[in-house]
Structure formats: C-alpha cells, structure tokens
Amino acid sequence: MHREIPRFVECPPLNPELRSLITRLVYLPNYPPTPSDSIFVFGNRNFSDTAATVQQLIDSQISGHIIISGGSPKFDDNSPPPSRSESESISSLLNISDPLVHVSLEQAATNTRENVINSLNLFPPSLNSLTYVCLWYLSCRARLSLRKFLPESVRLFQYALPKKEPDSGIIIDPDTWYTSEIGRNRTFAEYLRIKTYAERGDIFSDVTLQNLIQKINSRI
C-alpha cells in the first residue's frame, strides 16, 4: 500500500513562532480522565504503551465500553505487518476482570478515517461523551476524524500518549518533537496530512483550523 504523504517529510527551518504554531495545530492538549459513554482507541504499533494507557483508563472506571480499532496495514515504507491486527495486539495486553467492562474490536482499518468509519456501528446508541486514545502526534487528525463523523453534540476528551520510535527509542510529544530530526520530519508530515485532508473534506474543518493552517503555510 502506498502512502499519499510519506511518514517523514523534511521539516523546514523552525523559528520559535513556527514551532509554536505547528505544535498548536498537531499536538492537542490532553484531558484528565473523564467519565464517558465509551473509550475509543486508535490502533497503532506502540502496543504495550497504548495498552498501558487504556488499562489506566479502565482502572479509573471512566467507562466500561471500550472500542479498539486497527487492522494490519502494510505500507511500502513500513515494517512487515504483525501477524494479527493492531486492535487484537493491544487488546491481548489488557487485564480485564470486571464483567461490566466490554471490549469491541474493529480489525480492518488502515488509517485514521477508517478507524472511525468502520467503528460507527460499535458506538453506544446514545453517545453523548467519548474519550479517545491515540498517539500524540496524531491527536489533531484523530479529533477531526471523530468530529467529521460523529454528531456535533458528542463531547470529546483526548487522552494521548507519546510516540516512541522503535529503532532509536526517541520520544515524540508536544515538548520534544522539534529536538530530533525524526520528530521534526514526522510532525511536519502530519501537518501536511491535516492540511491536505482538511482541504479535501476528509476530516472536519472550520475557520479556526483553516486560519491556523494558513498562518503556518505563510511562514514556511
């Protein structure tokens, strides 16, 4: 499978203003654990860290309804896919003893948009609030994908975790992304995805988002 936008795109020189604008767009702030009708997990290959984050939310008893979405995408520039889906790999690491906690798996999605679309039939019929779990550099696109396909009335609470690069162990989060080449290039590629998908209508977009993208684009 070919990526429309590569995982890594060379980041232009950063000054404090441009760095702040990109951080503001790509890395949305987390909420404290908040009681929700459901917990939605965007699959990824940081299996153990993601499972630990989900376990923390389950143990805090904010919701007993869990949806984990993620297939086994194989991209040209990626490592071989795992033998089972991302959602299965994450779910297998959870320790659930409470019979009132129910976990549903979506096992076909290959991108953030599909994570949401493929899971729409798994959400509770009366969904008023949702906590979503994702890698932090995907937080904007994750939220905009949910906002695109869920009713506007649904309250969204983010609980994101840093991305840990498998080979180098470099951590990518709002405070460190610009300190490493891999962090800068991964984050800039994510900016380009948000810009492209918002312009095409694949994700939710409004005047605030468009103005922020325009500010960044004018400073590159």
**pLDDT > 90: what percent of the chain?**
89
pTM, two decimal places: 0.95
Judge whether 27 and 177 are in contact, CB under 8 Å. Answer: yes
CATH number of the domain located at residue range(s) 29-171 in this protein = 3.40.50.620
Predicted confidence at residue 80, as pLDDT, reads 65
Residue 176 has pLDDT above 90, yes or no: yes
Order of strands, sheet of 129-135, starting from the edge strand that comes earlier in the sequence = 102-106, 65-69, 38-42, 129-135, 155-161
Per-residue confidence (pLDDT) for residue 107, from 0 to 100 = 96
Reply yes or no on whether the pLDDT at 11 is more than 80. Answer: yes
Alpha-carbon distance of 156 to 167, in angstroms, equals 33
Contact of 68 with 105, CB cutoff 8 Å: yes
- Please give the pLDDT value at position 74: 73
Domain residue ranges of the chain, discontinuous segments joined by +: 29-171
Distance between CA atoms of residues 127 and 35, nearest Å: 12
pLDDT in tens, 96-118: 999 999 999 999 999 999 999 99
Q: What per-residue confidence (pLDDT) applies to 78?
A: 62
Q: Is the pLDDT of residue 53 over 70?
A: yes
Query: How far is Cα 51 from Cα 70, in angstroms, rounded to an integer?
Result: 13
- pLDDT for the residue 102: 97
Mean pLDDT of 22-30: 98
